C-alpha cells in the first residue's frame, strides 16, 4: 500500500503554516508566513493582529502547500488526512486554522485529526533526527548499537528515530518544558517553568548587556549572547553572585524551572557595575564575563533537572532511550555539549557500577557474570532535530496527525479549540 499523505495546518501563535508530509517521512511541501514584522514594533505578539493576519494569509498558504507538494492531477484529493493544531495557543488564532481544517476535511470527506501543539513538538524527532548542519561532525563511525556519536548527533542514513519512552527538553521563547513521551497520546510533564521561559531570560539578558545584534545570524538575541560570551576571558568572574536556580540542597529534587531570580541577579550586577564606574557604563570585558556567567548558570539549571529526570525515570523502571532537545534555545552549543556529557556520564556511572559488581562476583562465581545485562544496556542518545523543525511549523502537525491516525485516533468534524490544554 502507498504511504499516507497528510496536510498539516498550524496557526496557534504568530506564524501561518501549512505543510504536506508522508508517512514514509518525506516533507513534500512546507509553507510558513511569518508575522514578525507586524508584532516586532509592538514589542510583543498582539493577538488581534495575529488573528487578522492568519485570516488574511491562511487560504494562500494552504493553496501554496498543496501546489508545491506536486500531488498530481487529483491535487488535494490525494491527501489522506487533515491535521490541525487544536491547542494550546491564542484562542482566535487557533480558531482560524481549526475552522479551515474542519471545513476542508468535511467537504473532502477526509479524516480530521486535532493535534496538541506540544505533542507535535515532542514527536518531530520521530520524523527526522538528522541535523543537516552537523551531519559531517557526527560521522565518526560509532557502532550502530551505541548510536551516540562523539557529538551526540546521528549520521545521515542510519538515523534512528527515538523509541518510546524518551525525554523531550523543549526550550524556546514560548516553552520551557521537560517531558516523558511514553507513547503516542501519552506524556508526563516532568518540569515546567514557574516564571519566565528560558528564551525570554536569554533575550532580556542580551538586552541588559547591550549585546550587539548580529545581522545574518539566525537565532535572535540568544544566539548573539552565545557568540558574545565565547570570547569571555574570565567566565567565572561573577559566578559567586549568580544563583543556579532551584539548586539548594532542599530544592535538588524539585522538578521546576525558574529564570526570574537569575535574571534579577544579572540586572543587579549591571546596575552595580554602572554605579561604580566613572563613565556610568560597563566595559566590554566585564559584559562578556557576565554573559558567560549567565549562560553557565542557565544551562547548569537545565542540566540538573534533566539529570534528575533521568534518575527519576530510572528509579521508576523506565528505560529512557533518548533525550530530544528542541526549540530555539536548543541551538545553543554549550547546552548541547553539556547535555551530551550528562547523557553519557549517566550511562557511564550506571554501567561502571554493574561492572564493578560483575568483576567482584566473577572471582567466586564465574557463571554469574551478567553478560546479558551488560549487552542490553544502551546509552541515552542526545537527538537534536534540524533547527527549522524545532520552531513552530506545520510539518510537525502533519507528522503528528499521521502518528495519531495510525493509532486509530481520529476526531469528529465539530471539535472545538482548546486554548489551555495540559498534556
Residue ranges binding ligand KG4 (CB under 6 A): 172-174, 199, 202-203, 219-223, 226, 327-329, 331-332, 390-391
> With binding defined as CB under 5 A, does residue 203 bind Zn ion?
no
Decide if 118 contacts 131 (C-beta within 8 A): no
Q: Which three cell numbers stand for residue 94?
A: 487557533
Cβ distance to ligand KG4 smaller for residue 218 or 248: 218
- Smallest distance, ligand KG4 to C-beta of residue 348, A: 27
219 Rama sector, left if φ>0, alpha if ψ -120 to 50, beta otherwise: left
What does 114 bind: ligand KG4, Zn ion, none (CB cut-off 5 to 8 Å by kind)?
A: none
| CA proximity to 26, closest of 384, 395, 325 | 395
- Smallest distance, ligand KG4 to C-beta of residue 331, A: 4
Residue 58 half-sphere exposure toward CB, CA atoms < 13 A: 25
- Smallest distance, Zn ion to C-beta of residue 29, A: 20
**Spatial distance between the Cα atoms of 304 and 345, rounded to a whole number of angstroms:** 13
- Smallest distance, ligand KG4 to C-beta of residue 255, A: 22
What does 347 bind: ligand KG4, Zn ion, none (CB cut-off 5 to 8 Å by kind)?
A: none
Cβ distance to Zn ion smaller for residue 102 or 121: 121
Show Cβ contacts of residue 33 under 8 Å, excluding neighbours closer than 6 positions: 15, 16, 17, 53, 57, 60, 61
Give how many residues touch Zn ion by CB under 5 A: 1
What does 112 bind: ligand KG4, Zn ion, none (CB cut-off 5 to 8 Å by kind)?
A: none
Q: Compute CA 48 distance to the chain's CA centroid, rounded to the nearest angstrom.
A: 27
What does 148 bind: ligand KG4, Zn ion, none (CB cut-off 5 to 8 Å by kind)?
A: none
**Spatial distance between the Cα atoms of 224 and 268, rounded to a whole number of angstroms:** 21
Cβ distance to ligand KG4 smaller for residue 160 or 419: 419
27 beta partners: 21
Decide if 39 contacts 53 (C-beta within 8 A): no
Cβ distance to ligand KG4 smaller for residue 52 or 204: 204
- Smallest distance, ligand KG4 to C-beta of residue 363, A: 50
**Spatial distance between the Cα atoms of 340 and 345, rounded to a whole number of angstroms:** 8
Cβ distance to Zn ion smaller for residue 200 or 392: 392
Cβ distance to ligand KG4 smaller for residue 129 or 393: 393
Torsional sign, CA 36, 40, 45, 50: negative
Cβ distance to ligand KG4 smaller for residue 28 or 291: 291
What does 391 bind: ligand KG4, Zn ion, none (CB cut-off 5 to 8 Å by kind)?
A: ligand KG4
- Which 105-164 residues touch Zn ion, going by CB under 5 A? none
| CA proximity to 94, closest of 57, 64, 51, 60 | 51
Radius of gyration of the chain (CA): 23
Cβ distance to Zn ion smaller for residue 196 or 347: 196
Residue number closest to Zn ion, CB atom: 392
Element at 178 (helix H, strand E): strand 176-183
Q: Compute CA 379 distance to the chain's CA centroid, rounded to the nearest angstrom.
A: 20
- Smallest distance, Zn ion to C-beta of residue 121, A: 6
**x/- map, 1-40, Zn ion, by CB under 5 A:** ----------------------------------------
Cβ distance to ligand KG4 smaller for residue 111 or 220: 220
Decide if 166 contacts 152 (C-beta within 8 A): no
Decide if 299 contacts 244 (C-beta within 8 A): no
Q: Which three cell numbers stand for residue 105?
A: 476535511
What does 226 bind: Zn ion, ligand KG4, none (CB cut-off 5 to 8 Å by kind)?
A: ligand KG4
Torsional sign, CA 390, 391, 393, 396: positive
**x/- map, 359-398, Zn ion, by CB under 5 A:** ---------------------------------x------
- Smallest distance, ligand KG4 to C-beta of residue 222, A: 2
- Smallest distance, ligand KG4 to C-beta of residue 77, A: 34
How open is the CA angle 76-80-86, to the nearest 5 degrees? 95
What does 289 bind: ligand KG4, Zn ion, none (CB cut-off 5 to 8 Å by kind)?
A: none
Cβ distance to ligand KG4 smaller for residue 98 or 329: 329
- Smallest distance, ligand KG4 to C-beta of residue 203, A: 5
In the complex, which residues of this chain contact Zn ion (CB under 5 A)? Answer: 392
Amino acid at each position: 500500500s502507498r504511504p499516507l499523505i497528510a496536510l498539516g495546518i498550524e496557526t496557534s501563535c504568530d506564524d501561518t503554516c501549512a505543510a504536506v508530509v508522508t508517512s514514509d517521512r518525506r516533507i513534500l511541501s512546507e509553507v510558513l508566513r511569518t508575522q514578525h514584522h507586524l508584532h516586532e514594533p509592538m514589542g510583543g505578539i498582539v493577538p488581534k493582529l495575529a488573528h487578522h493576519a492568519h485570516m488574511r494569509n491562511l487560504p494562500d498558504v494552504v493553496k501554496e502547500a498543496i501546489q508545491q507538494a506536486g500531488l498530481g492531477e487529483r491535487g488535494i484529493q490525494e491527501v489522506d488526512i487533515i491535521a490541525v493544531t487544536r491547542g494550546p495557543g491564542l484562542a482566535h488564532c487557533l480558531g482560524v486554522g481549526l475552522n479551515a481544517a474542519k471545513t476542508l476535511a468535511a467537504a473532502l470527506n477526509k479524516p480530521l485529526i486535532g493535534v496538541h501543539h506540544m505533542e507535535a513538538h515532542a514527536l518531530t524527532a520521530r520524523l527526522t533526527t538528522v541535523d543537516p548542519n552537523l551531519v559531517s561532525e557526527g560521522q565518526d563511525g560509532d557502532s550502530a548499537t551505541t548510536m551516540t556519536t562523539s557529538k551526540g548527533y546521528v549520521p545521515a542514513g542510519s538515523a534512528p528515530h527515538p523509541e518510546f519512552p524518551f525525554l523531550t527538553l523543549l526550550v524556546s521563547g514560548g516553552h520551557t518544558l521537560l517531558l516523558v513521551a511514553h507513547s503516542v497520546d501519552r506524556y508526563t510533564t516532568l518540569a515546567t517553568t514557574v516564571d519566565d521561559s528560558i528564551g525570554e531570560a536569554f533575550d532580556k539578558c542580551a538586552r541588559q548587556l547591550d549585546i550587539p545584534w548580529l545581522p545574518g545570524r539566525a537565532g535572535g538575541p540568544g544566539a548573539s549572547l552565545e557568540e558574545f560570551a565565547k570570547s569571555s576571558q574570565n567566565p567565572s568572574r561573577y559566578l559567586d553572585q549568580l544563583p543556579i536556580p532551584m539548586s539548594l540542597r532542599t530544592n535538588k529534587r524539585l522538578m521546576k524551572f525558574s529564570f526570574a531570580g537569575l535574571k534579577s541577579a544579572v540586572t543587579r550586577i549591571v546596575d552595580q557595575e554602572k554605579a561604580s564606574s566613572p563613565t556610568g557604563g560597563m566595559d566590554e570585558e566585564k559584559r562578556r564575563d557576565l554573559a558567560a556567567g549567565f549562560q553557565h548558570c542557565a544551562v547548569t539549571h537545565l542540566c540538573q533537572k534533566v539529570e534528575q529526570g533521568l534518575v527519576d525515570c530510572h528509579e521508576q523502571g523506565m528505560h529512557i532511550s533518548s533525550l530530544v532537545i528542541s526549540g530555539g534555545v536548543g541551538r545553543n552549543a554549550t547546552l548541547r555539549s553539556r547535555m551530551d556529557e550528562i547523557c553519557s556520564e549517566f550511562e557511564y556511572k550506571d554501567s561502571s557500577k554493574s561492572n564493578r559488581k560483575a568483576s567482584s562476583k566473577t572471582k567466586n562465581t564465574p557463571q554469574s557474570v551478567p553478560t546479558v545485562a551488560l549487552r542490553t544496556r544502551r546509552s541515552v542518545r542526545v537527538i537534536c532535530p534540524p533547527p527549522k523543525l524545532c520552531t513552530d511549523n506545520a510539518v510537525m502537525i502533519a507528522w503528528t496527525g499521521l502518528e495519531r491516525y495510525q493509532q486509530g485516533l481520529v476526531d469528529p468534524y465539530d471539535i472545538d479549540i482548546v486554548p489551555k490544554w495540559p498534556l
